[in-house]
Amino acid sequence: MTDTGEAPPLVRLEGVGKNYGNVIALRDVTLEASAGEVTCVLGDNGAGKSTLIKIVAGLHRHDLGTYEVQGEPVAFSSPRDALDRGIATVYQDLAVVPLMPVWRNFFLGSEKRKGFGRMDIGFMRRTAKDELAAMGIDLRDVDQPIGTLSGGERQCVAIARAVYFGAKALVLDEPTAALGVKQAGTVLRYIVQARERGLAVVFITHNPHHAYPVGDRFLILNRGRPIGYHTKAEITREELTALMAGGAELEQLAHELDAAASGGAPAKELAEGADLLRKTD
């Protein structure tokens, strides 16, 4: 964990609340995301996770409380405003053009041009490949259509893209929810990579077994309200699981982490997570 010293967190919400008409979607939420840390937001369906990240991402405005970026209060009116402050959001249904090559998708909407408005294809192809490699993503061919990648690989391309375009904070909405065991492990590894590159990561999930191995802080929401906000030192995996209604079997995580670890050089946290499970089971 990085010692953030005097610097204010990249993202800080305090006492934030949001209503949709008569529906109280969120109340009294306090959350910090600092450089070099992963902040996990956990909760069952309807807990308010998406509402929270839409506020962080600039899609919705909060009704109560304060939202600060690097210590300055902000009131974003669009995701573009949030992006200008370095806050990038990767949604579960990624906006990709399936038939376009990986490198085109990497630069989509921010194409690099040379003289006469012509696209600098060589630069984009090379850069996409290098940036993906720097995140530890080894694609055989950046010319392949992005639609041929697995869901996990697509999430990883989106993460690498956000890093390349200068994101300081990366918000991931349930990036592992629709994935199989092995792919979820791959995405968890890239979350660790993004943290190691100094980003503040906000990782939304309903799975405590995905959150615990990679998280530094944990906010647990239930029906729009926080029922826990802890640093990793303050909470065990068992306590986190107990806070979450209907947590999956612990044994399953041990298998998931093993699968992830056997896929290549394991992130330290994943290996530790698997060990931890073995010890306590």
Ligand X SMILES: Nc1ncnc2c1ncn2[C@@H]1O[C@H](COP(=O)(O)OP(=O)(O)O)[C@@H](O)[C@H]1O
Q: In 3D, which of 199, 197, 281 has the Cα closest to residue 237?
A: 281
DSSP symbol at 5? T
Q: What is the C-alpha to C-alpha distance for residues 189 and 184, in angstroms, rounded to an integer?
A: 9
Contact between 25 and 62 (Cβ < 8 Å): no
> Hey, which residues between 206 and 245 contact ligand X (CB under 6 A)?
224
Which of ligand X, Mg ion, none lies near 48, with the C-beta cut-off 5 to 8 A by kind? Answer: ligand X
Q: Which stretch binds ligand X (CB under 6 A): 39-47, 159-167, 226-234, 240-248?
A: 39-47
Residue of the chain from 36, 43, 101, 152 that contacts ligand X (CB under 6 A):
43
Whether 219 and 37 have beta carbons less than 8 Å apart is answered as no
Total binding residues for ligand X by CB under 6 A? 12
Interface map 45-84 toward ligand X (x if CB under 6 A): xxxxxxx---------------------------------
* Positions in 2-21 near ligand X (CB under 6 A): 20
Pairing of strands 225-231, 217-222: antiparallel
Q: Does position 23 bind ligand X by CB under 6 A?
A: yes
Does residue 39 contact residue 216 with C-beta atoms inside 8 Å?
yes
Of 49 and 237, which CB lies nearer to Mg ion in the complex structure?
Answer: 49
Amino acid code (one letter) for 115: G
Q: CA of 267: how far to CAs of 214, 264, 272, in Å?
A: 9, 9, 9
Q: Which does 46 bind (CB under 5 to 8 A by kind): ligand X, Mg ion, none?
A: ligand X
Residues lying near ligand X in the complex (CB under 6 A)? 20, 23, 25, 43, 45-51, 224
What does the binding site for Mg ion look like in residue numbers (CB under 5 A)? 49-50
